[in-house]
Amino acid sequence: MFSQRDINNAVLDCEKQLAKTRMRLKKVQGLKLTSPTSNEEDSVVLRKKVRLKGFDDESNIGLSLGSGGGGTKKGRRSSLSNEVHEKIKDRIIRTFNLDAGRGLVMMRENGFGRTPEQTARFLLNTGGLNREMIGRALGMGRESLRLYAEGVEMEGLPFFICLRRFLGKFKLPGEAQQVDRVLEAFARAFCKVNPEAFAGGYSVVHGIAFAVVILNTDIHSQNLNKSKHIRMTKDQFIDNTRHMEGCSELSKEFLESIYDDISANEIVHQENKDDLHGNLFSDSVKEGWMKKKAPGIAVTSWRRRWFILTKNPPQLTYFEDEKTNDPKGYIPLVDVGIVKSTKHKKGLELFPENGGTLKSAKYLRGELVVGEHQIAELKAESVEESWSW
């Protein structure tokens, strides 16, 4: 049997070792190479910093990592790498959805977008990305835009199906020059896999696509005053399109079919309802303000936080506010029940369904601290909201 003194000494030794480890990490994180004259040297520093966050091999950064052997030291490292990889990816998604430019920078810094190929793949395949921000990002880079367009499946498909599929993945940027670049990229990608579709080549496809976007806006835009605005007629659309480069020989029947299709069905970008790729925040069930009580503290210690409820994983994540990128903490909801509070009309209580304690985690002075409590107390903004949660 160990005495209480032995246990206290062991705890003290662990704390000393932990403090030393933290000091060494801070020294390595502060490492600067002499004579930083190239981007290659800067990337060396970056890779060292990223590896400290949990990647067991720098070649794994930005890739899906294997789980490895769960019972081995290597397997545990790989599991940690997967967890860190997903947390970094989640933060990139949230940052990108607030500001496309900042999100692209974060992608490059963390290995998700160091090349145009990586950027295009991330924008095309990552669930949870805001469609408007994808459009802005595509307007910023020519090569990543080209690769993005080529990544959309179009081979052997009719022109109009391809255009709808392409434009359904994002919202076109606001500047006319950027819109023109995006549609040119679509035209080149379409003609690359369907070279016989139009005799005039990509310039014809580009012209038709531009005419379709103008028509779609003219007929369906909510910003136009419908009482004063006279929408484009079928004859006007045909005449306008035939005046575009290479489009003079397009048949009347073909252009009429496009006009009828657009009139009946607006081209809209798809929302994130189908983004079920395991990305945090991409399939949020509910978002909103609630107050969280610090466990074991007085009633006055309620803190107002922005909560996001997700089903994959089942979790409550809370932030300082709705625009903050970094979460304040998490409450996993596996085997967790919820009841209305008997103390407050707007209150909710989370509790472990199988007994024991309720797991949670929060960031305290930059470190993730795991907590265990009997219950977690929350307050919604109203009684109706509490029932909604």
φ, ψ of residue 298 in degrees (nearest 5):
-60, 165
In this predicted structure, what is the pLDDT of residue 153? 92
Q: 309 or 355, which is more confident?
A: 309
Taking the alpha carbons of 29, 33, 36, 41 in that order, is the dihedral positive or negative?
negative
In this predicted structure, what is the pLDDT of residue 207? 93
φ, ψ of residue 104 in degrees (nearest 5):
-65, -40
Give the β-pairing of 358-364 and 327-332: antiparallel
Whether the pLDDT of residue 205 is over 90: the answer is yes
Whether the pLDDT of residue 80 is over 70: the answer is no
Catalytic one of 15, 153, 175, 353: 175
Whether the pLDDT of residue 4 is over 70: the answer is no
How far apart CA 174 and CA 136 sit, in angstroms, is 8
311 vs 101, 282, 283, 335, 381, CA distance in Å?
29, 10, 7, 13, 22
Specify whether 175 is catalytic.
yes
How confident is the model over 94-109, as pLDDT tens digits? 899 889 999 999 999 9
How far apart CA 116 and CA 287 sit, in angstroms, is 33
Enumerate helices (H) and strands (E) in the chain, giving the number of each.
13, 9
Q: Are 127 and 275 in contact (CB under 8 A)?
A: yes
Whether the pLDDT of residue 155 is over 90: the answer is yes
Q: 85 or 154, which is more confident?
A: 154
How far apart CA 186 and CA 146 sit, in angstroms, is 8
